[in-house]
Structure 1
Amino acid sequence: MTTDSYIHLATRPDAGAPLVFAFHGTGGDERQFFDLAQNLVPGAGVISPRGDVSEMGAARFFRRTGEGVYDMDDLAARVAKMAGFVAAHKARNPGAPVYGFGYSNGANILAAAAMARPDLFDRIGLLHPLIPWYPAPVPGLAGRKVLITAGRRDPICPWPQSRALIDWFGAQNTEVTTVIHEGGHELLRQEIDALADLFAPGRQRPVSAKETAA
């Protein structure tokens, strides 16, 4: 794969700064979180791809056959393509830490890519992800910093599946931070603040779900 596998926006990082990959939700595009990523990590190189699957005109990163029902063969192919895209940008910026965050469908492709290629991302922000299967263990994720946010009344990402994903990442010995609020699929300020904390230089201690509950 190459750095041009997707339509995307990109900036080069300052010396010593990380690369930040931003993945939009269904119906978004490469502009949805590009400015946010630049504000979260000043000086970072930001790479924001557009999903190359159309669902009735809405851009996505992989196909589904219904709400919460994924085309798993297509997902596997799209994950391989995305992993190659990330790896190509990583190779172009040797030594730069690599961070990623995504919302909804963007969180799902990021999570699946990190499971398939745990070497790609150093810090991972998953905003309202939905992983409707129980992944096999991925020992290579140990030590990664992971943020997962969720709404207990989210009609798209049911809370029991969010809870299962949080537990799964914990079982991989990642440093898991969570923000759980009582709302639905909307993003709250507390989630963005937690994402900024995840990407802050020198972050050391994982924060508990209780400490960050919105």
Structure 2
Amino acid sequence: MEHVFIDKKSKNVFILLHGTGGNEYDLVNVAEMIDKNTSILGIRGNVNEGGMNRFFKRFAPGIYDLESYKNETNHLVETIKELSNKYNFKLENVTVIGFSNGANIGLGMIQEFPSLINNYVLFSPDYINSDKGFSNLEGMNIFLSTSRNDTMVDFENIIKLLSKLKNENANLDIYYGLGHRIEHEALIDVKNWYTKILKK
């Protein structure tokens, strides 16, 4: 998968997963606002939809290809493992930051590989595979930004998602915003959240 690695000479690494139509550079400024000293690995989605980069296929907006979702989640995880070896960082020091489509495949990683990475920041996710739950998320730190006014997400789905994450004992911090976007106030909260994570 196409990617960029920005080495800040830190053991800590942000893995950035863009939204639909984005690329591996899209969230670099977001990451640097959270912590300018953490190294950055930006990854480009493997799927092209009408010229737009995505991490998995969909049949239409809000109607997802679950087979592609699972396959591309597996592919992303293998890519992350390979790149962690290439750039010599440990997955225990990684925080995944995803927006929209990138946040969705981040949730796929949590569902399918809960022991891989402990820290996730998910901006404007949807609950793609809502028939599949989560297992044993104790010790996992998740910051999730969502909105009751997000026209691209069914908020009832998000309520279901939050309940399942809590039931599996994830350390969950929730920011309620105004739409399908990354808000400045959310970034301030993430910065504070991340500072606490590093001190654990």
Q: Same fold (TM over 0.5)?
A: yes
Cα contact 2:3–2:42 (8 A) shared by 1: yes
Structure 1 stretch displaced more, 104-113 or 155-164: 155-164
State the Cα distance separating 1:96 from its structure 2 match.
5.4
Cα contact 2:92–2:117 (8 A) shared by 1: no
Pairing partner for 2:70 from 76, 79, 84: 76
Match of 1:189 in 2: 184
One-letter code of the match for 2:68? D
Match of 2:116 in 1: 120
One-letter code of the match for 1:27? G
Cα contact 1:90–1:96 (8 A) shared by 2: no
State the Cα distance separating 1:101 from its structure 2 match.
1.0
Match of 2:104, SS state, is: helix
Q: Distance in 2 between matches of 1:115 and 1:40?
A: 25
Instruction: Report Cα offsets for 1:71-130 as digits up to 9, x if no partner.
Output: 111111100010111222334313751101101001001110122111222210111101
Match of 2:32, SS state, is: helix
Match of 2:150 in 1: 154
Match of 1:29 in 2: 23
Cα contact 2:34–2:188 (8 A) shared by 1: no
- Gap regions ≥5 residues in structure 1: 1-5, 206-214
State the Cα distance separating 1:204 from its structure 2 match.
7.1
Q: Distance in 2 between matches of 1:158 and 1:10?
A: 34
Equivalent residue runs for 1:36-75 within 5 Å: 36-75=30-69
Match of 1:212 in 2: none
Q: Report the TM-score when normalising by structure 1.
A: 0.84
Q: Report the TM-score when normalising by structure 2.
A: 0.90
Q: Distance in 2 between matches of 1:89 and 1:66?
A: 32
Q: Distance in 2 between matches of 1:202 and 1:105?
A: 24
State the Cα distance separating 1:12 from its structure 2 match.
2.8
State the Cα distance separating 1:161 from its structure 2 match.
1.1
Count of matched residue pairs: 197
Match of 1:200, SS state, is: helix
State the Cα distance separating 1:11 from its structure 2 match.
2.0
Identity of aligned residues (%): 20
Match of 1:184, SS state, is: coil
